[in-house]
Chains A and B, each alone.
Chain A
Amino acid sequence: KAGVTQTPRYLIKTRGQQVTLSCSPISGHRSVSWYQQTPGQGLQFLFEYFSETQRNKGNFPGRFSGRQFSNSRSEMNVSTLELGDSALYLCASSFFLAGGSAYNEQFFGPGTRLTVL
């Protein structure tokens, strides 16, 4: 099976701009989660989507948003970029049964490295 893919791998933006990151999960996985990784804050959960619905959300401002399509592919958007948004953004997918327990491991993509100048 192909792994989780993320595009683009690298992005350079300037403050005030907006950016969209894309994630394609492993085939058959319907749950997609997004995480932000920075040297200062470590790995932090952004949000999780399942069947096109956001089910969980982390403590990030409203500038961070996402969506999921019917084929389980997901995008996240960051508007009005700030210097502090520079980070590695990781997408993870898992086989999560609706109504079941969240015991399945998440598989991560290689990440998108966002640099805000």
Chain B
Amino acid sequence: AQSVAQPEDQVNVAEGNPLTVKCTYSVSGNPYLFWYVQYPNRGLQFLLKYITGDNLVKGSYGFEAEFNKSQTSFHLKKPSALVSDSALYFCAVIRAGFQKLVFGTGTRLLVSP
């Protein structure tokens, strides 16, 4: 069965500093991984995905994620955090051929001015 783990409930970072939100996965077969962000009272917004290819994936709003097969990780990163990045971030995995996203528990990112 596919699963993802987000070990941190909350990440605090100062504006302008780099940020990392961690995600590890457990899948049988090739992993298809996604990051979504949720702002208060809003649905989920797609940030980026890893299907195959380069281990560094670039996405929306300056976010990128690094796929590491040996460590089964897919950490979300941004070189310089903005206060407006404060939100709830979800890592997710999908099984090929099925439209069922399996989400992690989410990590709340707080960026202080």
Q: How many A-B residue pairs have CB under 8 A?
A: 66
Q: Which residue of B lies closest to A3 (CB)?
A: B43
Q: Which of A40-98 contact B (CB under 8 A)?
A: 42-43, 45, 48, 50, 55-56, 58, 90, 92, 94, 96
Q: Report chain B residues within 8 Å CB of A22.
A: none
A42, A43, A55: the one within 8 Å of B99 (CB): A55
Q: Report chain B residues within 8 Å CB of A35.
A: 101
State whether A108 and B43 are in contact (beta carbons under 8 Å apart), knowing that A42-B105, A103-B32 are contacts in the complex.
yes
Contact with A along B91-104 (1 / 0, CB 8 A): 00011111111111
By the criterion CB–CB under 8 Å, are B46 and A56 in contact? no
Q: How large is the interface on B (under 10, 10 to 19, 20 to 34, 35 or more residues)?
A: 20 to 34
By the criterion CB–CB under 8 Å, are B99 and A96 in contact? yes
Q: Report chain B residues within 8 Å CB of A107.
A: 46
Report Cα–Cα, A30/B46, bound state, in Å.
Answer: 18
Q: Is there a chain A Cβ closer than 8 Å to B27's Cβ?
A: no
Q: Which of B81-113 contact A (CB under 8 A)?
A: 90, 94-106
Q: Which of B36-50 contact A (CB under 8 A)?
A: 36, 41-46, 49
Q: Which A residues lie at the B interface, using CB under 8 A?
A: 4, 6, 31, 33, 35, 42-43, 45, 48, 50, 55-56, 58, 90, 92, 94, 96, 101-103, 105-111
Q: Which B residues lie at the A interface, using CB under 8 A?
A: 32, 34, 36, 41-46, 49, 51, 90, 94-106
